[in-house]
Amino acid sequence: MALFVFLAGTPLWASDDSMATLDAEELVFDESRGVAVAEGGASLRYQGIRMYADTLEMDTNTNKVRASSPGSRGVTIISGGKVLKGRSAEFDISSNEGVLYETDVALPIEESESLVYLKGDRVEVATVASARVKGWLPKKTGKVSEDTTIGRWEGVTVTTCPQPHPHYRLRAKRLVLIPDQRVVVQSPQVYIGDHLLFTYPFDYPVDLQAHRRDSGASFMPKVGYDSDKGAGLGLSGPFMWEKGTLDITVMGWSRKGLEWGARVEQELRPWLRIYGETVWEYESSSDEKSYRPSWGFVAQSEGWTFNGRWTQREALKEELRAGTSYKTTLWRMPEMELSSPWWQISQGSPREYFRFKALWGRYEETGKGLPEIERLGLGGEIYGKIDSPVSTWEPFWRLSYTDFRYDVSAGEDRQKVTDATVGAVYRSPSGFEAGTAYVRRWVSGRSPFVLTKTDKSDAWDDYDDEELIYQKFGFSLSDSFRLELRGAYSLKKSTLDEMAYQLTYRKNCCYSWVLTYRDDRYEGDNWASLSFNLTAFPDNVVKFGDNELEDPFREPEGLPGR
Cα(167)–Cα(505) distance, integer angstroms: 13
The answer to whether residues 153 and 175 touch, using CB atoms and an 8 Å cutoff, is yes
Whole-number pLDDT of residue 5 = 44
Whole-number pLDDT of residue 473 = 96
Whole-number pLDDT of residue 307 = 96
**What are the residue ranges in the chain where pLDDT is below 70?**
1-18, 71-72, 80-81, 109-114, 137-147, 178-182, 201-202, 205, 207-221, 240, 242, 320-323, 409-412, 452-457, 533-547, 561-562
The answer to whether residues 220 and 192 touch, using CB atoms and an 8 Å cutoff, is no
How far, in Å, are 252, 365, 374, 378, 405 from residue 444 at the CA level? Answer: 43, 22, 19, 15, 12
> Is the model's pTM score more than 0.85?
no
Cα(166)–Cα(186) distance, integer angstroms: 20
Q: Which residues pair with 327 in a beta bridge?
A: 317
How far, in Å, are 87, 209, 425, 556, 558 from residue 562 at the CA level? Answer: 41, 18, 19, 10, 7
Whole-number pLDDT of residue 220 = 60
The answer to whether residues 421 and 437 touch, using CB atoms and an 8 Å cutoff, is yes
Nearest 5°: phi and psi at 504?
-110, 130
Cα(345)–Cα(560) distance, integer angstroms: 12
CA dihedral 126, 127, 132, 134 (to 10 degrees): -20
What is the 3 state secondary structure string of 173-197? EEEEEECCCEEEEECCEEEECCEEE
pLDDT tens by residue, 193-215: 788 877 776 677 676 665 444 44
Amino acid at 476: S
What is the 3 state secondary structure string of 396-419? EEEEEEEEEEEECCCCCCEEEEEE
The answer to whether residues 515 and 503 touch, using CB atoms and an 8 Å cutoff, is yes
Nearest 5°: phi and psi at 134?
-75, -10
Whole-number pLDDT of residue 9 = 34
The answer to whether residues 466 and 321 touch, using CB atoms and an 8 Å cutoff, is yes
Give the CA count within 13 Å in the CB-facing half-sphere of 201.
Answer: 7
